[in-house]
Structures are given as structure tokens and as C-alpha cells.
Structure 1
Amino acid sequence: MTSLEKPTEDDTAHDSRAVTEAALFEAFGGVRGMVETVLPGLLFVSIFTINKNLHQSAIAALVVSLLLVAVRLVRRDTVKHAFSGVFGVAFGVVFAMMTGNAKDFYLPGMLYTLGLALAYIVTTLAGVPLIGLMLGPVFKENLSWRTRNPGRKKAYAKASWAWGLILLAKCAVLFPLYWWADTTQLGWVLIALKIPPFLLAVWLTWVFLAKAPAPIDVFAEMEAQEAEEKAREQAARGESAS
């Protein structure tokens, strides 16, 4: 191999960033996942703003969530993000219908956000940052970063802190509004806070991981180990036959 054919440090760094971007895109659903997250809530608050009809707003949000899942099923795409949206909307519809308070449509999602923020912080304090648990399989490193890649564990911890604090800040805005604002005000603020905090957290995760050591591909290691064992077995059989 000539010097021209050898990968440079810039090429390696670029490849690492590209792999990180692809993994984050897969893990968090990309643009389509964001649309599926925002659309049901946007439809609910839009209809409720116009006619103040809880039932029509809730049913419309649930129907569009189911349609998004159906489209993914027809296209044979990954449905985890669309399904999570359906469950979130369904819980919101049940809460709102049971209490008769349209603001309760948003309550399950707000509680989920608070719980997720605490999960990011608690798991990081426990030494197993949630972002690492989520992205480890995507990067084919599983939990190898915990004991074999301290630089990567540190990056996951920073990213989990970022997610936890950003989501806590979001909750600090939304919960007072739940008590003091009306349904339309809460709904529009919630829609406005759907994407920007998410994008900030994803961007910070990308920054931390792009600067971290490369992941250890444990699947490739296992395959190499299996190939080595097969080679030893074949060699042993050859010696026995001779």
C-alpha cells in the first residue's frame, strides 16, 4: 500500500463522525421520527384552538398516529418511533377523556419526559449512562465501553447529563404552565419545545461522541474468535489424521 492509499487522520476522523451521525439518526428516528412525534400533538392543539372540542381533537390525534404506523407497516419501515407515538397519544386521550380536562392530554407525555430526565441523571450517577445503554448496540459495542473504553464511557456520561438537564429544563417550563395556563397556551408552548431541545441534545451527543475513542466492535471480535477456534479445530483434526 502506498502513502496515497493510507487513510489519513482526517479521513479516520471523518469516518468516525459519519458513523456517529448514522447511529444517532437510526437511534432517534431522524426527520421522519420528529415529524411523527410532533404531528399528533400539533393536530390536537390546532383543532382544540378552533372549536374547543376535546373529543374531536383527541380522536383526530389518535387517528393520525395510527395512520403514521400504518404507513410505516405498508412501507416495511422501522415502526418503533411511530408505535411510541401511538402509545403516548393513546395514554393522553385516555387521561383527557377520563378527567374531561383537555390539558390532561399532555400530562402523560410530560410525566414521561420528567421520568426520562431522571433516568438519564440516575443512570449516569450509577456509572451506566442511559445513552450508552441505548447506543451501545447501535455501535455494535454493547457494554464494552463500561470497562474497556473509558474515554467512550466519559462521552456517554456527558451526553446523558446533557439529555437529563435539557429535559429537566423543559419540565421546569411545562409543569407550571400545566397548572396556570389554559389548554391552548400549554399546547402551543409544548409544540414549540418539542424539536429545539431534542436537536440540542442530539447535537451535544454528536459532539461528545465524535471526540471520543472509536467503539469496540464486540461482534467482530466474537466472529474473529469463532474463526480462530474453527481454525484450531481443523488444525487439530489434521494432526490427528496424519
Structure 2
Amino acid sequence: MTSLDKPTAQDQEDRGPEHNRAVTEAALFDAFGGIRGMVETVLPGLLFVTIFTINKDLHISAIAALAVSLLLVAVRLIRRDTVKHAFSGVFGVAFGVVFAMMTGNAKDFYLPGMLYTLGLGLAYIITTLAGVPLIGLILGPVFKENLSWRTRNPGRKKAYAKASWAWGLILLAKCAILFPLYWWADTTQFGWVLVALKIPPFLLAVYLTWVFLAKAPPPIDVFAEMEEQERAERAKEERAEEERNAAARGDHEA
């Protein structure tokens, strides 16, 4: 371990497993949006299927879902909160509305989200097999470790690989349920099943990620390292300047 590692990784480890678990929980909450993020993810689809179940009107259902997505973004903007989760919801709903309006099939409102889930599940698996697990790329900046886990923290890289496998397999299992229903079930049945499957697989994946990372070595704070390195360089420059000034005074006195 280098001298720069000591105030980052070692000090966090010395604080004990409870501290590491708390840090991991806070980081996951920030990365995935917490309860509010889950509400923003579920609400547009829930509103769409509820209205469609009542009146079978694709246009009203789609417009209502898009309107509530935009409203959620507006609320975050007014409160000056982070909008990344709300904006992702707006884009997903907008694509769903476009697909459904183009085809006239209400089930196509859900198709872009399903394709995204399939692609994301494959991305988790492929990146893990390539040695760069996607969950590490997502959470590295949140933990202020960036990509240091790839070469300097093998235990953490292993935890990220396990978590990425969990995310990939859970998302692909979800797709294995939804895609057959997309063809076989009617719009109302399919919509309610999809809404029901929004949160439980997500919570399972987040929980497993927390379990794996809470048991892993603490992250190496590369930002703290850079700050420490900058302080050391400034101190070195100041000492050199003092030595030059002392030498100049000595020459002048001589």
C-alpha cells in the first residue's frame, strides 16, 4: 500500500464494517434514486395501464403518462433537485408514446423499456466477461474511486463482478417473463404484470449489490489522493522557493 492509500482505503477500513456498510448504502441510494426514484419509475406506467384499463383509449393513456413524467421533472427543477432519474423516465415514456402512436398498439408503449432492459441485462453480462463489470463503471464515480478498483483493489473488482452478474441475470429473467407475455397477453394483463415487475427485481438487484459491496474492501478515494498529491507538490515548491530565497539572501550578505 502506498502512502497515499493510507488516508483513503486504510482509514475507512479501520472504521469497521458498520461504516463500510453505511457508506455503501448511501452510495447506492444516491446512484439509483432511492424511494423517490422508484416512484418516478413506476408512476407513468401505472397511470398508463390504469387509464387504459378503464377506457381503452390509447391516446389519453399515453398523454397522461407523458404529462406526469414531465410534471415529475418540473417538480425536481423547481426544488433544484437532481433530475437524472426523472429525465430518464421522461425519455423512456416519450419513446413508448411514439412507438404506441405509430403502431396503434397500446402494448408497444412498453416495448422500448423492454428492449432497454434486455440490452442492459446483456451489457452487464458482457462487460463482466470482458473484465470491466458495468456496475463498477456506474458506481466507481459515486464512491470517488473511479476505475481504481480495476488494478488496485482486486477484492472490490470481484464484488463488482458478482453484482454485475446479479443485475444481468435478474434483468434477463425479467425479460424471459415479459417478452412471451408481450405476444400472448392482452394489453391490460400485460401492463399490470409489467408494473408489478418494476420494483421487486430492482430491489433484489440493489440488495445483492449492497451485500457484495458491504463485504468488499473499502474504495480507494482517488480524489483524496489527488488532493494529497497536490498538497505535497505545493509544499515541495514552497520549500524549494524558501531555499532559493535563503540562498539569495546568503549571496547578498556575502
Q: Tell me the SS of whatever aligns to 1:97.
A: helix
The residue correspondences of 1:125-204 to structure 2 (distance < 5 A) are 125-204=129-208
Q: Which residue of 1 aligns with 2:115?
A: 111
Q: TM-score, normalised by structure 2?
A: 0.91
Q: Which residue of 2 aligns with 1:72?
A: 76
Distance 1:144 1:112 in 2: 28
Q: CA RMSD in A?
A: 1.3
Question: Larger Rg: 1 or 2?
Answer: 2
Structure 1 residue 178, shift from structure 2 partner:
0.3
Structure 1 residue 11, shift from structure 2 partner:
5.1
Distance 1:182 1:21 in 2: 39
> Which amino acid is 2:175 matched to?
C
Give aligned pairs, total. Answer: 236
Structure 1 residue 102, shift from structure 2 partner:
0.3
> Which amino acid is 1:32 matched to?
R
Q: Tell me the SS of whatever aligns to 1:214.
A: coil
Where do 4+ consecutive residues of structure 1 move more than 2 Å? none
Q: Which residue of 2 aligns with 1:241?
A: 245
**Pair 1:123 & 2:131 matched:** no
**Pair 1:12 & 2:19 matched:** no
Structure 1 residue 12, shift from structure 2 partner:
1.6
Identify which of 202, 208, 219 aligns with 1:215: 219
Q: TM-score, normalised by structure 1?
A: 0.96
Q: Which residue of 1 aligns with 2:252?
A: none
Distance 1:168 1:71 in 2: 33
1:202-230 alpha-carbon deviations (Å, 9 max, x no partner): 00000000000000000000000000011
* Runs of at least 5 residues in structure 1 that lack an aligned partner in the other structure: 1-6
> Which amino acid is 1:34 matched to?
M
* Runs of at least 5 residues in structure 2 that lack an aligned partner in the other structure: 1-10, 247-254
1:168-207 alpha-carbon deviations (Å, 9 max, x no partner): 0000000000011000111000000000000000000000
Q: Which residue of 1 aligns with 2:7?
A: none
Distance 1:81 1:230 in 2: 40
